[in-house]
A and B are shown apart, each in its own frame.
Chain A
Amino acid sequence: MAPSTTSALTLNINGEKHTLSVDHRTTLLDALRERLDLTGTKKGCDQGQCGACTVLIDGRRAVSCLQLAVAAEGREITTIEGVADGDRLHPVQQAFLDLDGFQCGYCTPGQICSAIAMIEEHAAGWPSAATEDVRPEAGVPELTAEEIRERMSGNLCRCGAYVSIVQAVAEAARAEEEAV
């Protein structure tokens, strides 16, 4: 019997179940774009260096190019298509629009997904490499521009729109903090 090279699986994406059959080697990124027509998630480097393909897996940011689709079964996957609340944009999306947090826009879906999870990580008290004192007694560091740059360093922007991206992320974080 020839060895099986495909798997049937069900992926839970943006609250909807999708059943498909994939080659074992298919990445989550390729499954999203090529099989499910969810092309908002972008392919930049396809080797985990640029962050353009960032999605949320069980609420945490991850690069979908380094994730096999078969390993994503049973997880809750959120792509850029799923972050808005109907016609109401996610606060991070709105901030990117208001503050011109992009130029060509190709890295933007990844930037936005990454920022959404990053703001939650910060709210949960996670330190970063920019945090002077990581001991829990030191408390949660303020989300300064330096902290944002460090925490968002996994998302590259070839246009160099970083100045506006940092401002947009800071504004979204401030808005979410106020909303709490």
Chain B
Amino acid sequence: MRLVDVRELPLDGIESTADGGLRIGATVTNSDLAAHPEVRRRYPALAQAVLAGASGQLRNMATVGGNLLQRTRCGYFTDLSKPCNKRAPGTGCSAVEGEHHNHAILGATEHCVAIHPSDMAVALAAFDAVVTYESADGTGQLPLAAFYLPVGDTPHLETALPAGALITGVILPPAPVAAHSRYRKVRERASYAFAIGSITGALDVRDGVVREVRLAFGPSRPGRGGTGGRAGPDRGARRTPRRSPPPRSAELAAARPLPHNAYKVTLLRNLVVALLTELTEEAAR
């Protein structure tokens, strides 16, 4: 057995792609990602999402690749004395009947309701990020929506990354709408806590008409309908008036809350209204 520090690999660059997107290396730290001028200019919600996570010390140590592959903080996953389908397949999910007020309302199944706690992934989902990897068989790519597997009855299988593959980076396709994006996070204290609800929104308004809307919700179980999903684009819709009823979202309609996390449906709906109002007002200025 050998212990290898992959942080030393030369994957710490952030560069523009020929088509106007960004390529972000896997070992770029959260700090460097959030401080990068092109990230802040072209994908501000990504910088905000990264800054909303962890602490200054941890952002200096955490990397893009590690962030994508972090494990859930579900208490039953780490409690070896309790059943957990993710840790020990087939033993059952303790959270469904137990402590689950912070667990997923989107993408969960009766087999697992754990969340993926990444803030960064919520912004990457809104911007259709593509994960790149390398293995002994060569290089490969996975859109983020396909990178995280649906929970189904196999919560122990989390990603579609082939065995033995190493994430080399993330590609952000060009997205002019992303320049008008924001990330909002609700948590149980003012800072340095995981989200109980979060949202990335982007809105492109021209001549008073909404050309494109993008929304992605977190934290959730990664996979289609979870962190990996996003609504839109909703081209040609009228500008959202202030205090309008919340926009219909297929994502929230699919929410399957449990008794103690049903509050999150209202919370996320309110976040949608608040964020779209903010973005609309910003567009009007």
Contact = CB atoms under 8 A, between A and B. Distances in A.
A154 B192 contact: yes
Contacts of B40: 127, 134-136
B160 to A, nearest CB: 28
**Size band of the interface chain A makes with B:** 35 or more
A114 to B, nearest CB: 7
Contacts of B7: 71
A152 to B, nearest CB: 8
B5 interface: yes
Contact of B47 (A3, A61, A134): A134
B56 A121 contact: yes
B55 interface: yes
B51 interface: yes
Contacts of B57: 48, 51, 54, 61-63, 114, 154
Interface in B1-31: 1, 3, 5, 7, 31
Contacts of B61: 62-63, 66-67
A25 B212 CA distance: 50
A127 B46 CA distance: 12
B71 interface: no
Interface in B57-91: 57-58, 60-61
A70 B51 contact: no
Interface of B: 1, 3, 5, 7, 31, 34-35, 37, 40-41, 44, 47-48, 51-52, 54-58, 60-61, 190-192
18 contacts: A24-B3, A48-B57, A61-B57, A62-B60, A63-B57, A70-B3, A117-B56, A124-B35, A129-B52, A134-B40, A134-B44, A135-B40, A136-B40, A137-B41, A153-B56, A153-B190, A153-B192, A154-B57
